[in-house]
Amino acid sequence: DSGVTQTPKHLITATGQRVTLRCSPRSGDLSVYWYQQSLDQGLQFLIQYYNGEERAKGNILERFSAQQFPDLHSELNLSSLELGDSALYFCASSVSGATEAFFGQGTRLTVV
């Protein structure tokens, strides 16, 4: 158990819908990362927050947004969902951007 908690574990929703994925980082970690892993693809960086502020942005679609709250948990919002958004979404956390990151178990999103 990495100490990073993601909910829900599985999510099935229809095209056009909006979902929210939640991540609680390890105790003491200030940095949260979101990654997308599609079938047969590597981990694609979406966005990073550090102590409540956006630190870096990757190839995140405009339909996706995220935030980190004062208690350091983070949420990833995916809207106007398309079939191609079906993937595993991972959250990872680290003490800072320069230390090792630990991953949650992921949320498997299936868009039908």
Query: Which residues form the interface with another protein (CB under 8 A)?
Result: 2, 33, 35, 41-43, 45, 48, 55-56, 58, 88, 90, 92, 96-106
In the sheet that 5-7 helps form, which strands lie side by side, from edge to edge? 5-7, 19-24, 74-78, 64-68
Give the residue among 33, 44, 23, 52 at the shortest CA–CA distance from 92. 33
Contact 95, 28 (CB under 8 A): yes
Q: How far apart are CB 74 and another protein at their closest, in Å?
A: 15
Nearer to another protein among residue 43 and residue 79 (C-beta): 43
- The separation between CA 105 and the C-alpha centre of its own chain, rounded to angstroms, equals 11
Q: How far apart are CB 11 and another protein at their closest, in Å?
A: 15
Give the residue among 73, 41, 79 at the shortest CA–CA distance from 60. 79
Q: How far apart are CB 14 and another protein at their closest, in Å?
A: 24
Nearer to another protein among residue 50 and residue 78 (C-beta): 50
Nearer to another protein among residue 42 and residue 70 (C-beta): 42
Q: How far apart are CB 55 and another protein at their closest, in Å?
A: 5
Nearer to another protein among residue 54 and residue 82 (C-beta): 54
Amino acid (one-letter) located at 55: R
